[in-house]
Amino acid sequence: MPSYAVTGTSRGLGLEFVKQLSQNANNTVFAIVRNPDSATNLQTLAKQRPNVHIVKADITDPQSLVSAAAEISKETNGILDVLINNAVSTNPAAGAVPPSQIPLDVAATRDFFKAAYESSLYGAIWTTNAFLPMIESGKEKKIIHISTGIADARVIKGTGVTAAVDYAVAKGAVNILVAKYAAELEPKGIKVVALSPGWVDTYAGPTPKPAEILGVEAYVLQSFQKIWPNLKGQIQPEESIKMVLNVIENLTTEQSGLMISHHGNEEWI
């Protein structure tokens, strides 16, 4: 029975990972979430599928990750096959700020990057290290960190998008971290990748979408079309995660250490 641990599972891509993985009753899925009580959709899914286990942990709190790993280890006899680190947080106030407008102030700059760095970069380190002994004992031996194509310098240059500096910079750092982990862990047969899920519509607010959200999507689409002129819009979480899981299932040693897409290559859209 393959075992999976997924972070950031209360909604969006994380919840979709749990949905699709748990469709196979032979899979054991540990859904790691910061606030289980408020993750109502995840709670409903866990009641319907006995192979889904909700585990409380905050990826910005290393000790909570250690506790979560210990809890899961008791259930699996110290084994974990695949770790999917999906959780992320950003500073909403930083979203539209270009790099030249980051304040010349130590505290303000640290605050600008704090959420993205703690969740993406530090969280990637703490999550990996907390679960690494279990991955070493697993059969699949795969560690996946969800990344983004907008951390690719060629995409930034081609689209001219200056927004989401905190998110893109943090994920760019994660991409290098993945390469370092892959180099260290290759002798143990462990594959580590950064994986971009594509441009996915994860909006979960009230419908219809607010004009502000639609405006941002239109701007991003127009920017992306500078590189991908035939792009029509976002894909849905179901399609994205189906493709991502196929990439994970067929992950090769040659791909370890790289950032790859839901297509298994560098085609980000």
Task: Give the active site residues.
Answer: 167, 171
Count other Cβ atoms within 10 Å, centred on residue 133.
13
Tell me the pairing of strands 191-196 and 259-261.
parallel
Q: What is the DSSP letter of 51?
A: T
The length of the chain is 269
What are the angstrom distances between the C-alpha of 186 and each of 150, 190, 192?
A: 27, 6, 9
CA distance 133 to 145: 17
Specify the 3-state DSSP secondary structure of 29: strand
Are 59 and 7 a contacting pair, CB within 8 Å?
yes
3-state secondary structure of 258: coil
Question: CA 259, CA 148: separation in Å to the nearest integer?
Answer: 9
| Token code pair at residue 11 | 């909604």
Q: What share of the chain is helix, strand, coil (3-state, %, to 5)?
A: 50, 15, 35
